[in-house]
């Protein structure tokens, strides 16, 4: 019986898929390709190896959508486990999400660990250390726009109300300095959005609301520890926060994404981000 060569048989593991995709990509890429063309080539290469199309969320194809692009169903699409991502356990925990999703984003996941580590060193309460650990969770593995609001909604069923509140309102507070905690407007924002950027009305409204709230300082301390948490020379392990998570995060018995909370579907979207439906 003839044997199927390694080059012909479907990729079986994440590392095998990545290695073979990069091998094919290097053979096809040309020096004059734009970055977006290179990204598309790599994506198409992986889809060919998977023998499945990959559904791209609206947020990832807004330009094409705005230009009248019509999504046509051509062949089979990827559903559920994506071999490009580490497979999640049957009953996933928050630490599983860190190790198999959040920490895959270079820099972003480590920033959360550093922020929480700094908050711990500065003597913040455990529920605020957890807020620092989760404040940018939406950016790292879900959605960037309005990340504070999305992140708070994601974690609300599982944490103290003050923790979720601090995550939600840290987004608005980051646009406004507070000398009492040494917080200044980030230079990053000037570079990314311009010197003349003005936050929209809803951010101004939520800042004014938060400024008068009993938990104002909780959200403000998230921003204070957020700002100074970027240090490429600092290494922190998510396992260092096992006890704090255990005491302050209500892990559902069924696993995150498979319980009946109003945000379970959001956790499932992180597990299976490219489902066709």
Q: State whether the Cα torsion 36-37-38-42 is positive or negative.
A: positive
> Measured between alpha carbons, how far is 270 from 85 in angstroms, rounded to an integer?
11
pLDDT tens series, the chain, 277 aa: 444 333 344 445 556 666 776 777 788 888 888 776 776 666 666 556 555 555 556 555 545 545 555 555 566 777 888 877 899 999 999 999 999 999 987 767 888 999 999 999 999 999 999 999 999 999 999 988 999 999 999 999 999 999 999 999 999 999 999 999 999 988 888 888 899 999 999 999 999 999 999 999 999 999 999 865 566 677 899 999 999 999 999 999 999 999 999 999 999 999 998 888 8
Find out whether 120 and 129 touch, Cβ atoms under 8 Å.
yes
| Per-residue model confidence (pLDDT) at position 89 | 96
3-class SS of residue 84? coil
Find out whether 181 and 218 touch, Cβ atoms under 8 Å.
no
Instruction: State the first-to-last Cα distance of the chain, in angstroms, to the nearest integer.
Output: 40
| Global confidence as pTM | 0.78
From the candidate CATH numbers 1.10.3210.10, 3.30.750.80, 2.30.33.40, 1.20.120.530, the one assigned to the domain spanning 94-271: 1.10.3210.10
> Measured between alpha carbons, how far is 208 from 117 in angstroms, rounded to an integer?
29
> Measured between alpha carbons, how far is 185 from 197 in angstroms, rounded to an integer?
12
């Amino acid at each position: 019986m003839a044997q199927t060569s390694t080059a012909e048989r479907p990729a079986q593991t994440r590392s095998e898929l990545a290695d073979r995709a990069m091998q094919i990509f290097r053979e096809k890429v040309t020096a004059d390709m734009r970055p977006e063309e290179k990204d598309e080539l790599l994506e198409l290469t992986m889809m060919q190896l998977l023998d499945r199309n990959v559904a791209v969320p609206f947020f990832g194809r807004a330009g094409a959508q705005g230009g009248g692009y019509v999504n046509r169903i051509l062949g089979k699409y990827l559903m559920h486990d994506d071999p490009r991502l580490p497979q999640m356990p049957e009953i996933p925990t928050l630490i599983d999400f860190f190790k198999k999703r959040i920490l895959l984003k270079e820099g972003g996941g480590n920033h959360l660990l550093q922020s929480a580590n700094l908050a711990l060193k500065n003597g913040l309460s455990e529920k605020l250390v957890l807020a620092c650990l989760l404040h940018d969770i939406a950016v790292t593995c879900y959605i960037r726009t309005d990340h504070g609001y999305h992140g708070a909604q994601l974690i609300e069923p599982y944490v103290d109300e003050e923790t979720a509140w601090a995550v939600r309102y840290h987004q608005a507070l980051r646009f406004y300095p507070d000398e009492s905690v040494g917080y200044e407007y980030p230079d990053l924002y000037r570079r990314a959005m311009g010197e003349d950027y003005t936050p929209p009305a809803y951010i101004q409204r939520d800042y004014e609301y938060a400024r008068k709230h009993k938990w104002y300082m909780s959200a403000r301390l998230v921003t204070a520890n957020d700002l100074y948490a970027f240090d490429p020379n600092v290494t922190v392990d998510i396992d260092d926060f096992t006890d704090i998570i255990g005491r302050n995060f209500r892990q559902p018995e069924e696993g995150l994404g498979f319980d009946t909370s109003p945000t379970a579907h959001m956790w499932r979207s992180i597990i299976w981000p490219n489902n066709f439906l």
